[in-house]
Amino acid sequence: MRLDDVRGFVFDVDGTLVHRDGGTAHVVPGARELLERIKASGRPFVIFTNGSHLPPAQFARGLRDVGLPVEDEQMLTPLCSVQAYLNGRRRGQKVLPFVTDGARGYLAESGVELVDFDHAAEADAVFVAHIDHADLPELEKAAFAVIGGARLLTGSYVAAYAGANGPILSRGAMVTAAIAKASSTRPTIVGKPSKAAVRAVRKALGVPTEQIAVVGDDLYGSDRADDRTMDCQIVAAEHAENDHDAQGGDAGQWDPATAAPALLDTCGGRQPVDPEGDPADGDCGPERVHALEQVE
């Protein structure tokens, strides 16, 4: 698929729209102009990060603070896609969460029925996102809940992510691994990449899966959420890949400063599209989803 045929975009954050230096985010050259031009073309876009320590609106606010035109409703995280997962199951599922206080408040306000550790045995699912602290008795109760039939869900199972001073180990992955080991269960990923993430993106954009372009800095990792969207993602990345080859650099990593101008050229003359007629609530079949670990 050509980029000119794309009806909606989903962007990663770190390494794609911003680079971070400690606690400071710096906008990648061309990123703001790219988002503005996509908006002017009449095509929707969303931002998806696997960060889960804050409610989505706070992530959006942080991006606006550095100059990116991102509205609250355009921000997606595993706190959104876990709801897409739960909504695909029977109603009234009870969830035992390992999350921050802010994330807990967001989930509760969104209508997710949460249970505390005194009622862990009632949980239909255990959901692990970013967590600052976990006690062994809490892990034990969660493991027994999973042994008793609760699904073990995690926003991400990546062991570490890039920090200003080197890799930052994922506490969420540590907690998930402990529960998985104790309960002899494989966790289900509901962040990127997963069917749940694809459903959340598709619903937010109102665009069929095969007409969505995923733009990120990791072609073969967490940004590869859906094989059909990869057609467009690879097109976006090839501009950087060719330039890296010419300059003797590493291929396969998307440099937004190089790729953004090409995307800007492509998005410049697009006319507004009609968002009607989207099978947004249809099932995302397994033939469309690239499986890493166990994803749903």
Task: Tell me the C-alpha distance between 235 and 184, whole Å.
Answer: 40
Query: Fold identical between 3-77+193-288 and 85-189?
Result: yes
Convert the pLDDT of each residue in 82-135 to its tens digit: 999 999 887 789 999 999 999 999 999 999 999 999 999 999 999 999 999 999
37 has a pLDDT exceeding 70: yes
pLDDT number for residue 294: 34
> How does pLDDT run across 166-224, given as a tens digit for each residue?
788 999 999 999 999 999 999 999 998 899 999 999 999 999 988 999 988 765 555 55
Higher pLDDT, 237 or 210: 210
Q: Could you state, in order of their start, the residue ranges of all structural domains in the chain?
A: 3-77+193-288, 85-189
- Does the reported pTM lie above 0.85? no
Residue of 160, 132, 154 lying closest to 142 (CA atoms): 154
Q: Where are the alpha helices (DSSP H) in 150-296?
A: 171-183, 195-205, 227-247, 256-267
| Residue 228 pLDDT grade (very low, low, confident, very high; cuts 50, 70, 90) | very low
Q: Which of 50, 46, 24, 39 is nearest to 128 (CA)?
A: 50
Comparing 120 with 21, which gets the higher pLDDT?
A: 120
Q: Considering the domain 3-77+193-288, what is its CATH architecture?
A: 3-Layer(aba) Sandwich (3.40)
CATH top class, domain 85-189: alpha beta
Nearest residue to 294 (alpha-carbon basis) of 150, 188, 177: 188
The Cβ-side half-sphere exposure at 288, using a 13 Å CA radius, reads 20
Rounded to 10 deg, the angle between the 256-267 and 31-40 helix axes is 20
Whose tokens are 């619903």? That residue is 203
* Average pLDDT score over the chain: 79
pLDDT at position 210, please? 87
